[in-house]
Structure 1
């Protein structure tokens, strides 16, 4: 229906109601008495018709979208009708020698509000029930009967916009809401009852409508919903609803941090501000997933100069443009530096020229199976690259050097883990004689980083599956990219020299559970997106651990952050490896790497006995 046709139809309908209502009211109230003048009623009816259309224009009654009508639209009708009745009453008094037929006008007011308002809402009900209908809609269960849940139910009733979704029931753990109804939708049970309710009510879609949930609580709810044969989606976070950036009914799919299973670790803002503000900070691997996020996390603390170092010119260009467009470039000077950490002369040149106070070393090869096939590249980039940067920091008196390591450096069974453990040994040895404070930070698996499992799973889901998992019993510790970057920055403020900092990452997560939750939160079922087991890849372990038993130092050094003991290893083993690695084939190089980390474990065991 065009706007012009709709406008003429509403005006005609209102004209009929307004023109006849006063006569009906007069007949109802005065039919047994001959006390009123017909001429006065006719004149006041004309005045009522004219004034109604005038006030209808003022309050835009013909511009309302009645499919979304609420209290505001009803108030507009009441105001328009009330003012038009007052005008008609004044005209009536003049036409009838100041006689006011108040009862007739009161009944007219009631008829106007009922018929004009009712005409709008009757069409809406008719359209919802008999034109849109319910065939083909997703029968939806809303988890959470609080403010957000009821807002979802209300907006989903606007079927012009949400024709594919039909709210059937709520579940909520609040016992006072059990067996109650909101917008005609019953609360059928608690969250733990979701699987049974989905089966009983033939539910197609589950909407989690508790935007203030902590990640651990969300994980629990998702696990319960995963037992049901229905799709799962979320509403946006509470802060997005309050700021109006999104509608409450804008259902969304999964965000990486919602798979974490715990609350993210926060920062000591004051300590970091004093540590970073106004100083020159260098980030290697600044174009990578960890390095770029590290730069973003540093910017609120306004370093005086931020050195973006990397060998890939396009990734350095991208992060530079993003930082320049997003943050105040007058407070921080950005310097883009193309160079490879394996190039010792170039690294020395950069550190000498720009004299950074802090170096965050994020450049590394980190993909476990790839490094099994390319051990020489792993040694060149991870071991030699780190040694070059660390020795440059020592040579030019950098205040703090923070190495980004991995939990795969604990009892390493693969090339990547062994090379990262050796880099820890390098900086711990340098720390003993250097004026520079050296420290390392061990990450768990970083959700969403390049080459990690989440982007792989998302891509597989987008292509229709299946999602490939190596082993049903494989577990990993997880952290988000921002959380990992914050840990690095925080470690720099806590470092006294030689420490290995580790984040409390909660309980390890089974990879297959992560895959199932991601499938659910992406709006699919395991029937639609299957899971296949591909077997453990070269170099992988069934489980990781952030610290080995002999490294554990009791107690937190900061909330959710622990530190491992400094371990002594003969640096001559590493020097010999670097001098001879190019002469070895892949098998020999792997054996040499494992010999170093095995020697470390043997020496530790001997000391312990």
Structure 2
């Protein structure tokens, strides 16, 4: 049924075009003789059509004028019409010269006829599309939620065309920083002033929504525009990069709500896949803490490079179950070994590594929550983060792994809390082991907070917003570095492929972000403002400091071939370091928090715990 209908429509279009050739040919004669066409020229015109019509018909077919549908007629169709008409007109001119009919065909007719034909064929298609769209969408246009499109380039113009047919949205206008575009119209919609005027324009046009349609702009520009929208109280959406779109795909379907990643303005990470593939492809890879936020993302990224086997270890049975379910669905062909157990369990580690002999070990298992580890659980934090690192690293050496990668933190720099000091101590364990290891290379990677990780501030804010507030921030001046989990995991893989042994890699975390600004932006993303959900300051928690650092004062950094990775030369570790540290870690008693903090100063001289008096002073200042 449908092929017959399509064939009938094509035949009808072909018939119309031939009639247009006939009509414009005669009209050209009328124009040439100002309406009074001599009889012999009328006869000559009709005789000429005997060979003119087949020429046009053949060229229309050769140029594929009937592959498209009139209801979707667009610029490519117009280009095909122009080429077909121009070619046909040229062939008619040549035919007129060669045949020399009597009377001759006037030269003006040979020029006017193709011009009229182009206007007739193109205009007919445009009129048909306009009438069809009015019939389909005319009753719906003008309804829907008013929206402003930010960006009047190719993407913005395509969105304007789609929005003009939308029943959900009503396009109020466009904004663009290019002065040449301001004041002009796109599909009948006005391009207003610069993007900075979004607040005034939204109020004037009563638009509560905006679509950011500048996918080719830099991340910094997109971040600035997204922030402008949120600060103006406008519900913003974004059209992401279009590289993944297939030809002809609707732009509107790719529009999504902005999120915190858009506001942080992080550039996309590009890693040297050939080096990482050489490290991981066909190898046995082990990840500890594999059920956690970083560990699980590490497993996902490692899958891209087709390891021979992935050994995943985690203490949480439920986290391991979730990971196995996900990875089995993503890569059913992968040989996955799920191990539920403690990273401090030497017997388990020896059994697992002797059986599977991993070539690369990524050690992500750690206790990371600062306040929980600061009071009541200090000894557990030290044993898990330091002793766990030592035992996994020792097993890696004994079973001849080539690489051991420790996932560390920016809180290890000039630590003011037990968690940070324990991670710095873990780094020192790896430095010490590197001095005696002849086969295993040790690399450490430091980075700050990751969006969406377990225990991070973002899920906490989201829950508080869902309950109607208040959103609690510890201090108005507290700042943190942020990056995405995917970005951090990819850079860990990159660093591990670049290491030569003993390096501490530091990820480019960008600019620090005020947590209170993050909270306000998140509130606005969910469609609220400060009047709906208020922010309360609760005071710094035990072990928490206002600013995080990525380097200690007396450390130096050097560039690496990757723009987002640097290496730090940390303080050296004495050879007898482990001989003194291990008896302390493996003593048969649970040390008190005060004892742990006291002894940590011995092992990590830069560790300065925040005393009660200091905390009280910070609380007093913040309250004022």
TM-score class, shorter-chain normalisation, is 0.7 to 0.9
TM-score normalised by length of structure 1: 0.74
Q: CA deviation at 1:361?
A: 0.6
Q: Compared with structure 1, are the counterparts of its residues 596 and 118 closer, same or farther at alpha carbon in structure 2 (3 Å cutoff)?
A: same
Q: Secondary structure at the match of 1:562?
A: strand
1:156 aligns with 2:162: yes
- 5+ residue gaps in structure 2? 1-10, 47-56, 86-105, 609-624
Mapping 1:24-103, distance limit 5 Å: 66=71, 70-71=74-75
Measured on the aligned residues, the alpha-carbon RMSD in Å equals 5.2
**Structure-2 residue corresponding to 1:566:** 572
**Of 422, 426, 431, which residue of structure 2 is paired with 1:423?**
426
Contact in 2 for aligned 1:442/1:546 (Cα 8 Å) = no
Equivalent residue pairs, number: 577
Cα distance in 2 for residues equivalent to 1:523 and 1:251 = 17
Find the counterpart in structure 2 of residue 400 from structure 1: 403
The reply to whether residue 207 of structure 1 matches residue 214 of structure 2 is no
Counterpart CA distance in 2 for 1:364 and 1:114 is: 68
Partner residue, 1:197: 201
Matched, 1:275 2:279: yes
Of residues 131, 134, 156, the one that matches 2:139 is 131
Query: What is the distance in 2 between the residues matched to 1:372 and 1:246?
Result: 53
Q: Which residue of 1 aligns with 2:584?
A: 576
Q: Any idea what the Cα deviations from partners look like across 1:528-561, whole Å, max 9, x if unmatched?
A: 9645235246335243434453452232244332
What pairs up with 1:309-348 in 2 under 5 angstroms? 309-311=313-315, 312=317, 313-325=320-332, 329=334, 333-348=335-350
| Post-superposition offset of 1:228 | 1.8
List per-residue Cα deviations over 1:562-589 (Å, max 9, x = no partner).
323435567635632442553x4xxx2x
> How far does residue 393 in structure 1 lie from its aligned partner after superposition?
2.0
Deviation at 1:117, TM superposition (A): 4.6
SS at match of 2:331: helix
Superposition pairs of residues 198-277 of structure 1, within 5 angstroms: 198-241=202-245, 243-244=246-247, 247-249=250-252, 250-254=254-258, 257-277=261-281
Q: 2:471 aligns with which of 446, 463, 468?
A: 468
Distance 1:481 1:538 in 2: 25
Find the aligned partners of 2:269 and 2:127 in 1 and give their Cα distance. 56
Q: State the secondary structure of the residue aligned to 2:392.
A: helix
Deviations 1:409-445 (A, max 9, x none): 2333334323323322333333333333333221200
SS in structure 2 at match of 1:240 = coil
Report whether the alignment pairs 1:181 with 2:185: yes
Scaled by the length of structure 2, what TM-score is found? 0.73
Compute the displacement of 1:489 (Å).
2.2
- Whole-angstrom distance in 2 between the partners of 1:365 and 1:403: 14
Q: Distance in 2 between matches of 1:240 and 1:465?
A: 37
Contact persistence 1:342–1:381 (CA under 8 A): yes
Q: Secondary structure at the match of 2:437?
A: coil
Bigger drift between 185-194 and 451-460 goes to 451-460
Q: Which residue of 1 aligns with 2:353?
A: 351
Q: 1:335 to 1:602 in 2, by over 3 A?
A: closer
> Where in structure 1 are there 5+ consecutive unaligned residues?
1-10, 42-51, 82-101
Q: What is the CA distance between 1:476 and its match in structure 2?
A: 0.6
Find the aligned partners of 2:211 and 2:226 in 1 and give their Cα distance: 11
Q: 367, 384, 389: which one pairs with 2:369?
A: 367
Q: 1: CA distance between counterparts of 2:449 and 2:215? A: 26
Per-residue deviation at 1:232?
Answer: 1.1
SS in structure 2 at match of 1:239: coil
Query: Of the candidates 104, 128, 148, which is equivalent to residue 140 of structure 1?
Result: 148
CA–CA separation in structure 2 for the residues paired with 1:504 and 1:524: 31
Secondary structure of the residue aligned to 2:541 is: coil
Is 1:433 the equivalent of 2:436? yes
**CA–CA distance in structure 1, aligned partners of residues 65 and 460 of structure 2:** 52
Q: In the TM superposition, what is the alpha-carbon distance from 1:316 to its structure 2 partner?
A: 3.8
Q: Go from structure 1 to structure 2 and tell me whether the alpha carbon gap of 1:518 and 1:246 turns closer, same or farther (over 3 Å shift).
A: farther
Shift of 1:136: 5.0
Distance 1:565 1:493, change over 3 A: farther
Query: What's the offset of the Cα at 1:211?
Result: 1.0
| Contact 2:300/2:327 (8 A) holds in 1 | no
Which residue does 1:169 correspond to in 2?
A: 174
Closer, same or farther: CA 562–167 of 1 in aligned 2, 3 Å: farther
Contact 2:473–2:537, Cα closer than 8 Å, also in 1? yes
Aligned equivalents of 1:464, 1:235: Cα separation in 2: 30
User: What displacement does 1:252 show?
Assistant: 0.7
Q: What aligned pairs does 1:514-553 form with structure 2 within 5 A after superposition?
A: 514-519=518-523, 522=525, 524=527, 526=529, 530-536=533-539, 538-539=541-542, 541-553=544-556
Distance 1:234 1:221, change over 3 A: same
